[in-house]
Amino acid sequence: MKKGCILIVDDNKNVLSALRLLLGNYFEEVYLLSSPNTLIHDLKEKNPDVILLDMNFSAGINTGNEGLFWLSEIKKTDKEIPVVLFTAYADIELAVNALKKGATDFVVKPWDNTKLLATLQAAYDLRQSKKEVKKLREKQSVLNEQQNKNEICWGQSEVMRNLLMMIEKVAKTDANVLITGENGTGKELIAQKIHFSSLRANETLVNVDMGSITETLFESELFGHIKGAFTDARTDRAGKFEAADKGTLFLDEIGNLSYPLQAKLLTALQSRKVTRVGSNSSIPIDIRLISATNKDLFKSVQNGDFREDLLYRINTIHIEVPPLRERREDIVLLSNFFLEKFSKKYNKSGLILSEKAKSKLENYTWPGNVRELQHAIEKAVILSDNEILQDYDFQTRGIEDKAAMIDSISLEEMEKILIEKSLQRHNRNMSVTADQLGITRPTLYSKMKKYGLS
């Protein structure tokens, strides 16, 4: 399949004709120049992926200095573009000098078609890799700016203050970090905060959802592959480790990784090298590793589902993110934060929470944690027609779901949930509610007052 654009500069028109016929089968666009005088103009206009540059243009001169001069001019205009030099005079010292000045490779005339195509293909792949890295860095720059602009509400509870102090200490190091906690607690946000507070903040943060990677694609996704390594490997491709080089690699849901793949991951982490699928050459990598899971990996080790040596490799520092029900003092603060955020998003200024709404939010167990709270606030903002959001604007999960959290709530909390649900079911008919609960109306009134349901 044809792809990319190549610019060929050579004063021999027969060479140009031959190369047009050969390379026209492999490149979408082939531009020919018989003189380098318009090279820089054409470089800016055509934006080629590869340049094949002759080294001698004046009759009787074979020093290669002309090629080196134009190589320097090209690099002044676009230092990233691959330049393959082309000459009839093989000179090792000249080749070394050219490579030092930024040439990608060196081809001697008369050329071998197979070797020339392989050299140009490698140069093209290098160009694509550099573009991908540049795109990642630009994206990272935008993310960095966005991270600085968008404040995140972490809460003011003691447990969160201690957690943030720990993050501040850990971030400045290169220690591997394992973040654990229930779904929705904000493990990914913690990983981002560590990265953006680290010495690698200006480099790339690469996220990998380990739970979504199949066993057959694991090595290709993480370590990359070379062209022809398998059926769909049409080009060389860098893996996530290479993409995160000099930056941070975040492996989310690492507890879902199968036992055989854990060994492959451990090998890469220990050697700090990766080998692309289909290649025999290892590539050194410099990453800061952050992992996250909602599983108890120590229990998984005991059960034989997770490698102990991998656990200790990823677990230099362990950060446990508390569930929202264990920091109830943060619920109203977070609710107001999300309320302001979504009020702006949906152009509904002036929205506030009623006291009953606050009480309902504070006393719900939030099995989905901060993520569930965020979704509940957003839904209420969208559907409410009033400036004051009431308790009935928040449709929390049913009693069955709450009962699943029984290990984490008290008897009083369960009683409150039962009364609240019964009142809702019977449209706050006191007689029917009291009868359904098996208590007297005065007792119901007393308990409603106690729990702030009146």
State residue 49's pLDDT score: 93
Counts of helices then strands in the chain (DSSP H, E): 19, 14
Q: Where are the domains of the chain?
A: 5-128, 151-320, 323-399, 410-454
Q: What is the DSSP letter of 292?
A: E
pLDDT tens readout for residues 230-277 = 877 878 888 999 999 999 999 999 999 999 999 999 999 999 999 999
Name residue 388's beta-bridge partners: 352
* CA distance readout (Å), 126 to 129, 213, 236, 280: 5, 26, 9, 18
Task: Quickly name the fold that domain 410-454 has.
Answer: Arc Repressor Mutant, subunit A (1.10.10)
Given this chain, do its domains 151-320 and 323-399 carry the same CATH topology? no
State residue 401's pLDDT score: 46
Contact yes or no for 211/253 (Cβ under 8 A): yes
Please say whether the structural domain 5-128 has been given the CATH code 3.40.50.2300.
Answer: yes
Contact yes or no for 200/337 (Cβ under 8 A): no
State residue 145's pLDDT score: 57
CA–CA distance, 27 with 46 (Å, rounded to integer): 14
- As a whole-number percent, the residues of the chain with pLDDT over 90 amount to 60
Does the pLDDT at position 141 exceed 80? no
Does the pLDDT at position 9 exceed 70? yes
Contact yes or no for 178/318 (Cβ under 8 A): yes
pLDDT tens readout for residues 81-122 = 999 998 776 677 777 788 888 999 988 888 999 999 999 999
State residue 212's pLDDT score: 84
pLDDT tens readout for residues 308-346 = 999 999 999 999 999 999 999 999 999 999 999 999 999
pTM: 0.62
State residue 403's pLDDT score: 44
Please say whether the structural domain 323-399 has been given the CATH code 3.40.640.10.
Answer: no
State residue 101's pLDDT score: 87
CA–CA distance, 398 with 403 (Å, rounded to integer): 9
- The length of the chain in residues reads 454
Please say whether the structural domain 151-320 has been given the CATH code 3.60.70.12.
Answer: no
State residue 17's pLDDT score: 94
* CA distance readout (Å), 432 to 391, 419, 425, 440, 451: 21, 12, 10, 10, 19
Intra-chain end-to-end CA distance of the chain, in Å: 72
